[in-house]
Amino acid sequence: MMLDTWFGDPESPNLGFLHLPDDREVVGGVVICPPLGYDQVLGYRALRFVGQELAAQGIAALRFDYVGEGDSAGQSGTAQAPELWMSSVARAAAYLRDSGIDNVALLSLGAGALIANEAALTVDATALVHWDPELSGRRFLRRQRALFELTVGHDGPTDPSALLSLTLHPDAAAWLRTREITAATLPVGMDALIVGRRAYDENPATLRLTSNLPPRAEYRSVVGQEELLDVPGTLAVLPEETIAGMSEWLLERFPRASVPARPLVNGRAVVGHTSDGTPIVEKLLRIGPDRLFVITTSREDDNESGVVVQQPGAAEHRVGPGRFQVLAARELAERGYRAVRFDRRVTGDTTEVRPGEPNFIFANEWVDDTDRLIAELGIGEDVAHAGLCAGGWVAARMAERRPARLTVMFSPNYFKTAPLRAGEYSVLTQSSREGTRKFIGLKRRIRGILPGWAWPILGRLQLFHDPAILLGASTRDRNSTVAVLLTPEDEENFRAHRGPDAVARLINRGADIRVTSYAYGDHSLFGAEVRTTMLTDLLSLVDEKLTRSVTPTRSRL
């Protein structure tokens, strides 16, 4: 079983997920310390699988977001971030102990090891596991910066300290820069397991660690991490054998006698206050037979204002650039709206992880999930749907099914209404990476010479991406507005598929379509500047189209 709960300081609560055996009898507990940066995006479902496997061994496992990250309270990029990371680990350990579990170990992934290694002694951990750890904070920061430059390039007035999927204050970066995991910095007198990549066995940092390990520390060299963290999330492969090995090692460090776990589960938290002191409240819900994980955000006791339903991109979660959803939800609540964010099937914390599970990117299953959410929450026509990439496609398809005042599509690049089959997007991604995707070059050549009258015909046949098909389906309600927000690469794709002509045709028929192009930014919104600009534009559109309960005030979140 998995329990969703807020925990820690009520003034800045953490969001956590507690994995337990069905009988709640456990031999110990494990705090799972997530990585920082894009590894947190790629490794999210893998860490959920770790929690499932530990619970199957009779071990309680608590996953969580650090304060200032993911769905937890607090702002990203503060000077106090290292203190908040460390205190979040301490809160998680305290939560397990308050649940009746005295023996608590730590398990980290990636740069989470730099945090867990230092926190291990202060939380009195029973044992410590570093999985594919970042051994040097300095090297981690260099790698993140290089990935940012490669992926984003110049994003408006780019901060030279900008990192991929990670906002760091210079003081926090300085703290990370001085952290290392070596034989000398491993906690003394504690069982420790370091699980490293075989490809890194001869790296200087690895050799410095393994050449002089403390007596109770063990290093294991494994394969399979590249297939988890060095590929697009849609192609990730769970290293089941490695995860099973870590679970078995931890089980040996706990006593055989089990104790009942009695956790306090809190489904409501105050995550901030408006400038007039009104609490901003978030509630945790489960919806439908698939138990979709849902978070609602609103001013306290506000049930009458317009609703914004948020959709993440691809199969990703609300960490890294996905925290855009969290900040948007809390700003919307400040302005007098309600916001709903949720995990569709096979994302984040909805549905148990199954190795080899297919994704539903551009599939009807995700549209069905949103439809069920709208129905079960009783959301009416005073609603906006907003989503990134595949989430924008879901938002547009929802406007086709149910009336909506506003549909906002961030970085759209798929304009067919015909859905893909479950798992088909992964196949297309793999074939594109390998250069084996059939007919793609031929279609591009035809696209360049096709006469204007033929384009809509082939678009209706779903042979080409005609933006008029998707946008037209979502603008059938005359009271609705569709906004398309395009970064440079998305604008190029939009123009290549004759999007401006499609918009002009629809506007001539009476549709309200707004297209905004940005001079900077990247498709996935890794760049902070484009996220800030798009959030401003989203708020302006919502103010225009939805009913709000109060006059907006200055946020103090």
Same domain, residue pair 336 and 238: no
Q: What angle do CA 226, 230, 235 make, to 5 degrees?
A: 95
In a domain, 128, yes or no: yes
CA 507, CA 417: separation in Å to the nearest integer?
19
One-letter amino acid for residue 292 of the chain: L
- DSSP code string of 511-527: -EEEEEE-SS--TT--S
* pLDDT surpasses 70 at 138: yes
Q: What is the pLDDT of residues 9-23, one digit of tens each?
A: 999 999 999 999 999
Tokens of 324: 């855009």
* pLDDT of amino acid 527: 85
**pLDDT confidence of residue 232:** 83
Residue 302: band (very low, low, confident or very high) from pLDDT cuts 50, 70, 90? confident
Whichever domain contains 25, its CATH number is 3.40.50.1820
Element (H, E) at 62: strand 59-64
Which position has the higher pLDDT, 428 or 323?
Answer: 323
In three-state secondary structure terms, 326 is helix
Task: Kindly report, residue by residue over 431-471, the tens digit of the pLDDT.
Answer: 766 666 555 565 666 666 667 656 676 666 676 788 988 99
Evaluate whether residue 295 is within a structural domain.
Answer: no
364: its two tokens: 């009807």
Asked if residue 202 belongs to a domain, the reply is yes
Task: Give yes or no: residues 64 and 204 share one domain.
Answer: yes
Whether residues 67 and 200 fall in one domain: yes
Residue 19 CA to residue 496 CA, distance in Å, equals: 47
The answer as to whether 287 is a domain residue is no
Q: Is 181 part of any domain?
A: yes
pLDDT of residue 502: 92
76 contacts 88 by C-beta, under 8 angstroms: no
Could you tell me if 245 and 325 lie in one domain? no
pLDDT confidence of residue 441: 60
Q: Is the pLDDT of residue 160 over 70?
A: no
Strand partners, 107: 32, 129
Average pLDDT over residues 500-513: 93
d(CA 485, CA 534): 8
Q: Which of 255, 275, 290 is the last residue of a domain?
A: 255
Quote the pLDDT of residue 556: 43
Residue 551 lies in a domain: no
Of 196, 226, 255, the residue at which a domain comes to its end is 255
How far apart are alpha carbons 204 and 131 in whole angstroms?
18
Residues 250 and 308 reside in one and the same domain: no
Same domain, 451 and 525: yes
**Count of domains forming the chain:** 2
On average, the pLDDT of the chain sits at 91
Q: How confident is the model at residue 555 (pLDDT cuts 50, 70, 90)?
A: very low
- pLDDT the model gives residue 450: 66
Are 243 and 341 found together in one domain?
no
The Cα diameter of the chain in Å comes to 76
1-50: pLDDT as tens digits: 999 999 999 999 999 999 999 999 999 999 999 999 889 999 999 999 99
Residue 382's nearest CA partner among 542, 512, 551 is 542
Q: Using pLDDT thresholds of 50, 70 and 90, give the confidence band for residue 539.
A: very high
Are residues 454 and 364 both part of a single domain? yes
Question: Could you read off the pLDDT of 170-223 as tens digits, one per residue?
Answer: 999 999 999 999 999 999 889 999 999 999 999 999 999 999 899 999 999 999
Q: Is residue 264 part of a domain?
A: no
Same-domain pairing of 35 and 133: yes
pLDDT digits (tens, 9 = 90+) for 339-382: 999 999 999 999 999 999 999 999 999 999 999 999 999 999 99
pLDDT digits (tens, 9 = 90+) for 227-285: 999 988 888 999 999 999 999 999 999 999 999 999 999 999 999 999 899 999 999 99
pLDDT at position 270 is 98
On whether the CB atoms of residues 270 and 257 are closer than 8 A, the answer is: no
pLDDT of residue 121: 86
Whether residues 175 and 310 fall in one domain: no
Tens-digit pLDDT profile for residues 45-86 = 999 999 999 999 999 999 999 999 999 999 999 999 999 999
Q: pLDDT over 90 for what percent of the chain?
A: 73
Instruction: Give, in order, the Cα–Cα distances in Å from 344 to each of 99, 143, 349.
Output: 30, 31, 9
**Does 110 lie in the same domain as 39?**
yes
Q: Is the dihedral of CA 197, 198, 200, 204 positive or negative?
A: positive
Q: Which residues pair with 484 in a beta bridge?
A: 409, 515
Q: What residues make up the domain containing 176? A: 2-255
End-of-domain residue from the set 255, 274, 293: 255
pTM, 2 dp: 0.94
147 and 59 share one domain:
yes
551 C-beta neighbours (distance < 10 Å), count: 7
Residue 241 within a domain: yes
Amino acid sitting at position 9: D
